[in-house]
Amino acid sequence: MTANIKKIPLAFGSTQIELNIPEGNISSIILPSEPEIKEGPAFLIKKALENPIKSRRLSEIVNQDSSVVIIVSDVTRPTPTAKLLPPLLEELYLGGAKDENITIVFALGLHRNQTEEESRKLVGEEIYEKIRCIQHDTLRCRRIGISSRGTPIEIFEDILDADVVIGTGSIEFHYYAGYSGGAKSVLPGVSSRESVITNHKMMIDEKAVSGRVDGPVRQDMEEAAKIFGLDFILNVMLDSKKEIVAAVAGDLVEAHRQGVEVVDSMYKVPVEPADAVIVSCGGFPKDINLFQANKALDNATQAVKAGGSIILVAECAEGIGNQVYECWNRECRSPDEAIERFKKCFEFGGHKTAIIAKVSKKFRLYLVSKLSDEETRNAFFIPMASVEDALSAVLAENPDAKIHLMPHGGQTLPVRIDT
């Protein structure tokens, strides 16, 4: 008797590949549950600003003499800043704030400077012309304190004397801060290199994972933002088409947590761990390189039994995607070596090698990509020419293996229900 075969399309770069899998081996297909958008973005943002969480309205906080700083995401983030700013400025004008007293700061963290064209596009032509827009500079930070975890709190000096500071951004899963948004606009957004690196060193902690707010990285960020005095946040939640589905405003922790609930309801999926998981990042740009693709792998680890297999489907058209990561992959001969090196020497980029090294000790990792076999093995994966070959390898070991399928690995976070 032949088994019933199910065809599952998996995104691979800008194309897709088809997986043929016996129905009997499928444990579940893990999909997000996205809400229907009933209201436009401007309405959702305005409503959030009119009903701030644990905070007065901005129009009640500012007056005509207030100097105001608005921190906005840089070009590497999906936040639709140009849609957030008009309703935000309207709320500020309602309280009497004047354009000449408002500064927009791009939160670069440790990322590269933006071109003027990128900055213009992010905030919108009209706003760029009438309001001062500047970029964060890690070399011009002043120490204002130290966190209880020992992180120096060194903040961009151009914003230290502002009367009111507002953080904007979007909330999604983040692989070591738990979630993006909230306090992240301060640390790493407008902090010094030393502050960011000291904070990021905690990413190897067991609690520093996607979908948790009690991890040390997120807690440290929030402590820094409180010491600095972040007055107000405006954060949005996006669906897979990058459309705004909800917005929250107000207190940097309380408002953030309400946003987190929205993200969880859309993208957290309860699962019983299976023998294996086949995960696609969701295609381009999420699988543009291995550095980005690892986020989907990270989510998938939650859905597999210890000792099980993960098949990552990621085109990686632009290779590894980070020189330090590539260098560590070449130089670390074993997972243990990578983990030990990271403990002794924190280097951004090298953290990916160490994180995957930890994962490779728990699970068998297969990769279907355009990387060479050597690059794949250096990164602690087993290279596979096709998803079919990888599936055959898993089924050769256990013909009855139960397998979860994650077509949107970058966006869905399985939540373990251990029976």
pLDDT, tens only, 77-129: 789 999 999 999 999 999 999 999 999 999 999 888 999 999 999 999 999 99
158-167: pLDDT as tens digits: 999 999 999 9
Quick count: other Cβ atoms within 10 Å of Cβ 72?
A: 26
Pick from 269-278, 281-290, 410-419 the range whose average pLDDT is largest: 269-278
Q: How buried is residue 315: exposed, middle or buried, by Cβ count under 10 Å (0-12/13-18/19+)?
A: buried
Closest CA to 351 of 206, 96, 155, 176: 176
Contact 216/208 with Cβ under 8 angstroms?
yes
pLDDT at 192 over 90: yes
- What is this structure's pTM? 0.86
Contact 350/341 with Cβ under 8 angstroms?
yes
pLDDT, position 61:
98
Query: How many Cα atoms within 13 Å fall on the side-chain side of residue 49?
Result: 26
How do beta strands 274-280 and 413-416 pair? Answer: unpaired
pLDDT, position 419:
59
Q: What is the rounded distance in angstroms from the CA atom of residue 334 to the CA atom of residue 321?
A: 21
